[in-house]
Amino acid sequence: MICPLSLNVRITEFLNKFDIIIIKCYKRKIYEVFKNVASSYDLMNDAMSAGVHRLWKDHFIRRLGPTSGTKLLDVAGGTGDIAFRFLKYIDNLNKNESDDLSVPNHIDGFQLHQEDQDLSSSSSSSSDEEDNPMTHHVTVCDINQEMLDVGRQKAESYGICSGMSWLKGNAECLPLEDNQFDAYTIAFGIRNCTHVDKVVEEAYRVLKPGGRFMCLEFSEVKNPLLRSLYDNYSFQVIPVMGQVLARDWKSYQYLVESIRQFPNQEDFSDIIRNAGFRMVSYENLTFGVAAIHSGFKL
């Protein structure tokens, strides 16, 4: 006769193993999704947001307000959308300009001014940048090599040779030392992580005291009528667009579903607070279709 306690232990062990298998399958699915959409990632974001994501990202960087000395870690940022805006924002700041921060798809859409081009072609290394406290730098971290490859290719086409580096790493376990960065950004990536709380805890760990966490993510539309319209667009239109534009119905269907499974604005704010951040706030964009979340390591 099997002891009830022993049976409970066996059942618990089985369930734990089953959970591990599910998590591994989920992570693999996410990796495959972004591997498939890497080459058409900008197109995917256009479909998911009806093109408005470009304006959201511009506003996101303005809210961050980086300066010439800012060290930024941009996680799940493989294609460089946020990183390029960060560099262009500071470039505009140095020239006392306030141009549109979006980067057009064509090669000539992003040009550093002449002084930066001279610096880019010089022999200065990333270590020199780290030694200079007034030199800004962005580290782009992504778990998917295909996404990073797309970002690197963009950087080369824009003529960007300095001020940024690329790192393959898991947002839930960053291969970085503590207290390294002034700012941490993650845009439209955190909802695809298995353990959102671990991602935020890692952000807290790698930020310097006084550092800022900022997240741009699809969120919950509060107005019932607008929510109904957005749901219809999301589930009826976006997967079809994915099939027509990228021949990939399943990946786009998953991305829509991932939005609905992500915590709403208030719940995600609680996760940020629980990780240790203070002065936590959020700003709804386009009636809550997306939201910017912010917190400080104090």
pLDDT in tens, 139-190: 999 999 988 999 999 999 999 988 999 999 999 999 999 999 999 999 999 9
Token digits of residue 33? 């999704």
Q: pLDDT tens-digit profile of 26-70?
A: 456 556 665 666 666 677 777 778 789 999 999 999 999 999 999
247: left (phi over 0), alpha (psi -120 to 50) or beta: left
pLDDT per position as a tens digit, 184-231: 999 999 998 999 999 999 999 999 999 999 999 999 999 999 999 999
Looking only at the bridges linking them, the beta strands covering 290-296 and 207-218 are antiparallel
In this prediction, residue 49 carries a pLDDT of 81
Give the pLDDT of residue 184.
99
By percentage, how much of the chain surpasses pLDDT 90?
Answer: 55
As a whole number, the mean pLDDT across the chain is 81
Tens-digit pLDDT profile for residues 239-267? 888 787 777 788 778 888 888 899 999 99
Tokens of 78: 């493989």
Rounded Cα gap, residues 160 and 25, in angstroms: 37
DSSP characters for 271-282? HHHHTT-EEEEE
* Dist CA 91 CA 256 (whole Å): 35
Binding residues for S-adenosyl-L-methionine: 79, 142, 170-171
CA gap 146, 139 in Å, rounded: 17
For the chain, which residues make up each domain, given as ranges? Answer: 53-222+261-296
Question: Domain 53-222+261-296 is of which CATH architecture?
Answer: 3-Layer(aba) Sandwich (3.40)
278-285/290-296 β-pairing: antiparallel
Q: Which residues are annotated as a binding site?
A: 79, 142, 170-171
User: How far apart, in whole angstroms, are the C-alpha atoms of residue 111 and residue 24?
Assistant: 42
What are the tokens at 195?
Answer: 């353990």
0.85 exceeded by pTM: no
**Collapsed DSSP state (helix, strand, coil) of residue 141:** strand
Q: What is the C-alpha separation between 162 and 236, in angstroms, rounded?
A: 43
CB 296 within 8 A of CB 213: yes
